[in-house]
A and B are shown apart, each in its own frame.
Chain A
Amino acid sequence: MSADFLYGIEVVINGLMAGVLYALVALGFVLIFKASGIFNYAQGVMALFAALTLVGIMEGQVPFSHLINAIFGTDLHYFGWTVPALLAIAITVVIMIFFAWAVQKFVFRHLVGQEPIILFMATIGLAFFLEGVGDLMWGSDIRTIGLGLPQGGSLWIEEATASLGGDDFYGFFLDKLDILATAVAAVLVAALVAFSQYTKQGRAMRAVADDHQAALSVGISLDFIWILVWSIAGFVALVAGVLWGVKSGVQFSLSLIALKALPVLMLGGFTSIPGAIVGGLIIGVGEKLFEYLVGPLVGGATENWFAYVLALIFLVFRPQGLFGEKIIERV
């Protein structure tokens, strides 16, 4: 096989793996949108906040240390201990569940029945509020996550595949972290699907997503389901935040991964979990292939805009997305 073709395949594989991460972020949006009709602009910030919290807890950082020091004149920064990764993850999950509860209790409970645009504005406010809280709690330094996840190209795969091509092909270059991220995302998605299909709470969740009034009449508490959905979205945000954080450091620009999810949502539809996954894969492969094939001709940096152009084209021909419900208006 020719080396160019094989490198093309490598680009596709890398695109698929990038796409899984996009899908993961998009999934958080879909979950909340389906259950409550809220487009949660804060999803990206939730990923940032979760990652920040995880790092802070693991390193034994004192939360709100700047505030405490300013008020009491102390000089606290670290507790002086480190927390094992699993325990830190558990604590972070509890904090995200608390966040979900607080969001429901203090914000969206009071906005039931409001226009979607108002709910959307509320999530924008929430995004900036949460970013501020993250800053106040953990400081604004760029952090690295010391989870000990493998990183760098996998030599084993490179050597195993080198023989596929001729002398000018050196084997597939695949990042170990990307492979791990793909596996994690796949497990997470499978778990979510199993949860929504086979458990009582999952059934209730699907019921609420379908019809609020009917859900109430069979004895489902909307409040509880919304807290549950925000909690799951918080957990998905944690996973996405960690995987991206390991890649590029935990910094405030992490919240911009939400913007990567937007074209995925336009492509896959806002209400479809399979749509988020397929949409993520298409965007991932599409932008990597485009960069590989067309990028050199136009001076590169196509990855920044290609996803949006693709999504726009899709919008023109299929406004409801690949898997979204078709909008039929009776006259």
Chain B
Amino acid sequence: MKDTVDSYVTADGRTIGGVMMEMRNITLRFGGVKAISDISFDIREGEIRAIIGPNGAGKSSMLNVISGFYHPQEGEVWFRGAKRPTMKPYQVAQQGIARTFQNIALFEGMTVLDNVMTGRLNKMKVGMFGQAIWKGAAEREEVENREAVERVIDFLEIQAIRKTPVGRLPYGLKKRVELARALAAEPKLLLLDEPMAGMNVEEKEDMSRFILDVNDEFGTTIALIEHDMGVVMDLSDRVVVMDYGRKIGDGTPDEVRNNQDVIDAYLGVSHD
């Protein structure tokens, strides 16, 4: 089992490190409804980890727990070897965890460039008055941030729309801009909530390529939720499968594919 070793090298030559994030016995309730019950899993440095499951399985809730939008009633979140106290979403982001949303949360009134620039807000250290004077440190910082943003824009091939207000872009490009904003923060862990939802085949292929490239070139650890089984199996190193708030499978794509519980959950099984 790969869980027991510190690090290993994948078939395509990437090195997967030790455990970065660990969810321990997470239970999340909304009133009387259990969205997540007693789920544990981990995410390792440098891997692409997928969370899959049918509609309403609690995948998005889990991602919201990781990013601090929801706070579980029971269980612990461990990040880089330390137990994480209850944190607000902005504090989680400051820790180096960036995310995208299922329904896209962009700043519609701003240009693509300004949107991606907001991803750098946490990298700006010079205070309000330093910026007011706009010399030395502040100027250097601004140049650095601009360069980083341009790198991301180049990388995701959205140079052509840099100055376009985001509200005018088609859906597929919006998804890419959202990814660019998350990447601009140079996150240690990148959370993607259904990055390919609502896309056509071509857009899906593009997005898959970007996800793999990000992981490969920047070594960014990625946790993603996806409906499309085919895509998940191609992309991810390990997969967690959820159904009705419970974990029913965890392992490599091949292991999961042959898991009877997973097959039942996806294909349906008669309960008699």
Contacts and interface: CB of A to CB of B under 8 A. Distances in A.
A214 B90 contact: no
Contacts of B105: 211, 213-214, 217
B108 A199 contact: no
A248 interface: no
A218 B96 CA distance: 10
B98 interface: yes
Contact of B110 (A198, A210, A217): A210
A228 to B, nearest CB: 9
A207 B132 contact: no
B172 to A, nearest CB: 18
A200 B137 CA distance: 14
Interface string B243-263: 000000000000000000000
A216 interface: yes
B69 A218 contact: no
Interface stretch (A20-28, A158-166, A219-227): A219-227
Given A218-B119, A219-B185, A199 B128 contact: yes
Contact of B131 (A199, A210, A218, A220): A199
Given A207-B107, A211-B108, A218 B101 contact: no
Contact of B101 (A201, A206, A217, A325): A217
A216 B88 CA distance: 9
A213 B185 contact: no
Interface in B100-132: 100-101, 105-110, 114, 117-119, 121-122, 124, 126, 128, 131-132
B101 A213 contact: yes
Where chain A touches its partner, the secondary structure class is: helix
Contact of A198 (B94, B134, B182): B134
Given A199-B132, A201-B128, A203-B118, A220 B108 contact: no
Contacts of A325: 109
B59 interface: no
B10 to A, nearest CB: 29
A203 B131 contact: no
Nearest to B69: A216
B114 to A, nearest CB: 8
B239 interface: no
Nearest to A217: B99
Contacts of B69: 216
Q: Residue among B94, B121, B181, B182 with the most chain A CB within 10 A?
A: B121
Nearest to A222: B90
A216 B122 CA distance: 12
A219 B93 contact: yes
Given A198-B134, A210-B110, A217-B99, A203 B117 contact: yes
Contacts of B108: 210-211
Contact of B121 (A211, A213, A218, A222): A218
B75 interface: no
A185 interface: no
Contact of A217 (B67, B132, B134): B67
A204 interface: yes
22 contacts: A199-B128, A199-B131, A200-B131, A203-B118, A203-B121, A206-B107, A206-B110, A207-B110, A211-B108, A213-B105, A214-B101, A214-B105, A214-B107, A215-B107, A216-B69, A216-B89, A217-B89, A217-B101, A218-B118, A218-B122, A220-B121, A325-B109
Given A220-B121, A221-B88, A221-B91, 11 more contacts: A198-B131, A200-B128, A200-B131, A203-B121, A204-B121, A211-B107, A211-B108, A215-B90, A216-B90, A218-B98, A219-B122
Interface of B: 67, 69, 88-91, 93-94, 98-101, 105-110, 114, 117-119, 121-122, 124, 126, 128, 131-132, 134, 181-182, 185
Closest 4 A-B residue pairs measured CB to CB?
A: A219-B93, A214-B105, A210-B107, A216-B89
